[in-house]
Chain A
Amino acid sequence: MTMTAAPPEAPATHARHAPRRRLRYAGTVALFLLPSAIPLTLFTLVPMAASLWTSLHEWNLITPMEWAGLGNYTELLGDEGTRSAFLHTLVFIAGYLPLVYSGGLGLALLLNRAMAGRNLFRAIYFLPVITSWVVVALMWKWLLNPAGGMVNWALGLLGVQGPGWWTDPTWAMPSIILASAWKDLGFVMIILLAGLQAIPKEYHDAASVDGATGLKRFRYVTFPLLSPSTFFVVVISLINGFQVFDQVHVMTRGGPGGATQVVVEQVYDLTFRYGRAGTASALSWLLFAVVLLVTQLQVRAQRRWVHYG
C-alpha cells in the first residue's frame, strides 16, 4: 500500500522533464555500454551478418564470391558429411554432459562441507577452466598417448592392455570427452557450489526433524532446490558441447578416419582446407539454428522441473 503512494506534485514535473531526462539517461547508458558495444558490433555482429551473406554465395577465399542462393544449404542438408558431423557432435554431448555434470556435482557436494584446505581445493579444481584449451588438449594427448603415455603405463601396471585412445577410431571420441569433462569440471563445480550455498539451512534442519536421512535429503531437498543452477549448467554445457572444436582440432583433427569430425571442425576444414567458405558459413548457420532450437526447448521444458525457491 505504501508503495503506491507518491508525492502529489511528482506526476507534473515528471511529465515535463521526462523526455529530456530520459534522453540524458539513455545517453549515459550508451556511454557506459560503448566499450563493450564497439567490439561486440565489430567482432560479433558484423561478422555474423557477413557470414550470413557469405552463406548465400560460393566463395573459395581467392576469387570474388558468386551468388548461390540457398544452394549451400540444400547441398549441406543432403550431404552425408553434414549428417555424420552432427551425429559425432551429438555423441560427444551424450558422453560429455552426464560426465561433466555428475563430476561437477560430486565435487561441489564434497567441497561444500566444512573441511581443511577447502578453498585451496576449490582453486585447484578451477585451474583447468582458466587454462588454454591448446595446453590442456596437448597434455591429454600426451597422457593418453598409446605409445608411452602415462595412462596406458598405469593401466599396464594393473595388467590391463590400454586401448589406442585417440589413434583408434572407437576410442578417439571417448578420449576427447574425457579431456573436455576434466577441463570443464571446475566450472560446473563453482556454479553448483554457489547453488548449494544458496539453499537455506532451515530446509535441511526441517527435513532432519522430519526424519529424512542423507540420501533422502539430497533427493527431496538439495536436488530440487539446486535445479536453477542445474538448468544454467545444462544450457551452457549444451551450447559449449555443440561448439566443441579446440580439443578436437588439437587432439585428432577430426580423425582417425573421420571418427571425431564434429560440426565446427567440419566448418574449419571446409574453409581452410577446401576453400569453400560459403558452404562453411551455411554450416555455421545450421549449427546456430540447432543450438537456438535446443536452447528454446530447454527454456520451455524448465517450467516442469526447475524450482525457484
Chain B
Amino acid sequence: MSRITKAAATALVAGLLATGCAQGSATKGADSTPGGKVTLRYFTFSAAPDHVKDLDTIVAAFEKEHPGVDVVVETAPYDEYFTKLQTSIAGGTAPDAFELNYENFVTYAAAGSLLDLGTVADDSDVSVYAQESVAAFKHDGKQYALPASFSTVVLIYNKDLFNKAGVAEPTADWTWADEQAAAQKLTDKSNKVYGDFQPVQFFEFYKTLKQAGGEFLSADGKKATFDSPAGVKAATWLVNKVGKTMPTEAEIGGTADYDTNLFKSGKLAMWHNGIWQFAGLKDVPFGWDVVVEPGDTTKASAVFHNAVAASATTRHGKEAWAWARFLSSSGIAATTRIASSWELPPVSDQSVLAGYLKDPKPANRQAVFDSLKSIALPPVIQRQQEMQDAVTKELSNAAAGREPVKDALAAAAAKVDELLR
C-alpha cells in the first residue's frame, strides 16, 4: 500500500513543506552572511550551459556596485525549470529573484507569487526599455517583472550542404513552398542527412498558424480559433515534414539536443531555431548563415521575452529589485549579452543594439532585426501549461498518423475552450 499513499500524498508533501519550511526559514536568518551581507538567490534557465560565464560577469559588476549583496546563481534546464520553480515556491524555499518567460508570466502573476516591483523600486523610470517589452510584464497595471532579454526564431542553414547539392541558398522572400522544394533536394536518407528540422509542437504551431493567416484565439480571447482552415494548413505543413524531410520520433529516439547535434555534425540543412543557438555554433567546421523564416500567406517570426521577477515572499525586495534592474538595463548587462550573442537586451537605445551586428558570424545578423518587423507572440492564458500540452499532444498524435490533422485540431480546440472557461 505504500505506493498508493505516496501517490495520494504527492500533492500534500509540498503543502506540508509550505507551512513547515516557511516558518523555519523565517527564524533561521541563514540568508545573511556573518559580514552582514545579504544573500540574494537568483534562479535562471537561460544562462546554462552556454552563458554561465557571461552571467558571472554581470553578477560581479553588480556586486561591485552593491557591496552589501551577494548574488548566488542557481540554474536548471528549461524542461525542468518551471516544475522546480513552482515546487520551491510551494515549499517556501523560493529564490529571491528568478527568470520568467512571457508565456508563464501571467500564470505566476495571477497566482500572486510575484512581488509588485513598484512597491520596492527606487526608480520607476522605465524609459531605458523598449516599451512593448516592459509593457508585456505588467499585470493588472502593476509591474511584476522587468524584461531582461528577447530573442527571435530564424531559419539557420548549412551553406556547405546547399552548395554541395547545388540548391540556391534561402532568401528573405522564401515561402513554405520554396523551403519544401529545397528540403526535398537536400534530404539524403542513405547518409542520414535531413533537409529540415522544425519540431511538431505548440510553439511552432502558433507561429506557422499566423504565417498561414490564422489566429490562435478569438479577438476577445475567450475561444480557440486555431482549428480553422489556416490552422489545418499550418498543422499539415508541420506534420508532413516528419519522416520525409525531417527525422521521425523513432529516429530521434528521445536523444537530448538531437537537433543541435544533428546541425553541428553537418547533417542538417535547415533548422528552425532561436538566436540563442548562435554562441554554440561559433566553432562548427562548415559555413552557416541565417535568414528570416519563410512564410506562407504572410511572414511571422516568433519572439520570446524573458524577464526577471522577485518572489512575493522574499525578505530582500529592494535588493531583488536592484538586481532585476541591473540585469535587465545596465550597460554592462546589455554589452555582455551582445558580445556573447546571449539573446538581445530589450533596451530602447538603438546604438547599443547596433553592436550586435558587428559580430561576423552569422553574416546575415540583420535578419534578426528584420524578423522583428512581423512578429508572432505566443498566445497566453492563465492555464498556459495545460494549453501547450494539449496542443502538442494532439499534434504529435497527428504526426504519428493516429488521427487526421483536422480531428486533432478540433480535439485540441475543444480542450483549450474548456481551459478558457
Contact = CB atoms under 8 A, between A and B. Distances in A.
Interface of A: 43-44, 47-48, 50-51, 54, 59-63, 141, 145-149, 163-170, 239-240, 242-243, 245, 255-258, 264, 267-275, 277-278, 280-281, 284-285, 287-288, 291
Which of A61, A168, A255, A277 has the largest number of chain B CB atoms within 10 A? A61
A275 B83 CA distance: 9
B3 A284 contact: no
User: Chain A binding site: helix, strand, loop or mixed by DSSP?
Assistant: helix
B393 interface: yes
A79 to B, nearest CB: 9
A130 to B, nearest CB: 15
The 8 lowest CB-CB distance pairs between A and B, nearest first, are A147-B253, A47-B9, A164-B250, A61-B90, A146-B250, A284-B8, A257-B397, A167-B249
Contacts of A269: 389
Nearest to A279: B11
A167 B252 contact: yes
Nearest to B4: A243
Interface string B236-275: 0000000000001111111100000000000000000000
B88 to A, nearest CB: 10
Contact of B11 (A148, A281, A287): A281
19 contacts: A44-B2, A47-B9, A50-B12, A61-B90, A145-B253, A146-B251, A147-B251, A147-B252, A148-B253, A168-B400, A242-B4, A245-B7, A256-B396, A267-B7, A274-B383, A277-B12, A277-B14, A277-B15, A278-B11
A48 B9 contact: yes
B340 interface: no
A257 B5 contact: no
B27 interface: no
Contacts of B253: 145-149, 167
Interface in B203-261: 248-255
A61 B14 contact: yes
A141 B254 contact: yes
Contact of B5 (A48, A255, A275): A48
A272 B4 CA distance: 18
B355 to A, nearest CB: 39
B86 A257 contact: no
A293 to B, nearest CB: 13
Contacts of A163: 250
Nearest to B312: A62
A243 B402 CA distance: 27
B10 interface: yes
B111 A54 contact: no
A274 B385 contact: yes
Which of B86, B111, B250 has the largest number of chain A CB atoms within 10 A? B250
Contact of B14 (A44, A267, A271): A271
Nearest to B14: A61
Contacts of B13: 47
B386 interface: yes
Contacts of A44: 2, 5, 9
B3 A240 contact: yes
Contact of A168 (B83, B112, B249, B394): B249
Interface residues of B, number: 45
B330 interface: no
A45 to B, nearest CB: 9
Contact of A54 (B3, B4, B12, B108): B12
Interface of B: 1-5, 7-16, 18, 82-83, 86-87, 89-90, 107-108, 111-113, 248-255, 383, 385-386, 389, 393-394, 396-397, 400, 402
A268 B10 contact: yes
Given A273-B385, A274-B386, A51 B249 contact: no
Contacts of A169: 396-397, 400, 402
A62 B111 contact: yes
B204 to A, nearest CB: 16
Contact of B111 (A60, A141, A273): A60
Contact of A284 (B10, B393, B397): B10
A255 B201 CA distance: 13
A253 to B, nearest CB: 10
A169 B249 CA distance: 10
B112 A62 contact: yes
A287 B9 CA distance: 12
Contact of A272 (B87, B107, B111): B87
Contact of B10 (A141, A170, A258, A280): A280
A123 to B, nearest CB: 24
A154 to B, nearest CB: 16
A278 B15 CA distance: 11
Contact of A62 (B86, B393, B400): B86
B248 A272 contact: no
A151 to B, nearest CB: 12
A51 B254 contact: no
A239 B1 contact: yes
Contacts of A242: 4
A43 B400 CA distance: 42
